[in-house]
Amino acid sequence: MTLHASYDPENIFAKILRGQMPCVKVYEDAVALAFMDVFPQSEGHTLVVPKAGMARNFLDMPGDWLGSYMLCVQKIARAVEAGLKPDGLRIMQFNGAAAGQTVFHLHFHVIPVWEGRELGRHGAGAMAKPDELEPVAAKIRAAF
């Protein structure tokens, strides 16, 4: 059912976009806000959240906004790569609770991967503190 429900403007990412909840910011422009995931699956796990569209998931996103948003996802992924030098990157996106989605405002995960380092599980990691996330975010910010 969560795939087709209506958009809830009280979801946590909407609150972060409105400045009502804090985040460790990596990048912001007119299209999207990127910030560190507080339950990171790896060092540098970044979320890219579109500002427009009121989309719960990828299926909902109006086409007019999709292109600029996807360019933004790529821009963040490039900065994560340049700033942290991982061996690989996972770009992930979940649609509906059955698929693993837990926050119902469209977002892409940018997850750096290093050979020999195991990734945390989606939605199951320990909560990171802002002072742990901030130095990593600073490296990514410096790479734009």
Nearer to ligand 5GP (CB atom), residue 14 or residue 47: 47
Residue 17: other Cβ atoms inside 10 A: 20
User: Would you tell me which residues interact with ligand 5GP (CB under 6 A)?
Assistant: 12, 23, 35-39, 47, 94, 100-103, 123
CB of 144 to ligand 5GP, least distance (A): 19
4 in catalytic set: no
* Token pair for 63: 């086409």
Compute the least distance from the CB of residue 107 to ligand 5GP, in Å: 6
Of 47 and 48, nearer to ligand 5GP (C-beta) is 47
By C-alpha distance, which of 42, 62, 72 is closest to 133? 42
Q: How far is the CB of 2 from ligand 5GP (least distance, A)?
A: 10
Closer CB to ligand 5GP, 42 or 101, in the complex? 101
Query: Which residue of the chain is nearest ligand 5GP when measured via CB?
Result: 39
Backbone angles phi, psi at 136, to 5 degrees: -70, -45
Task: Select from 62, 58, 56, 72 the least CA-distant residue to 110.
Answer: 72
CB atoms within 10 A of CB 89: 19
Task: Just list the catalytic residues.
Answer: 107
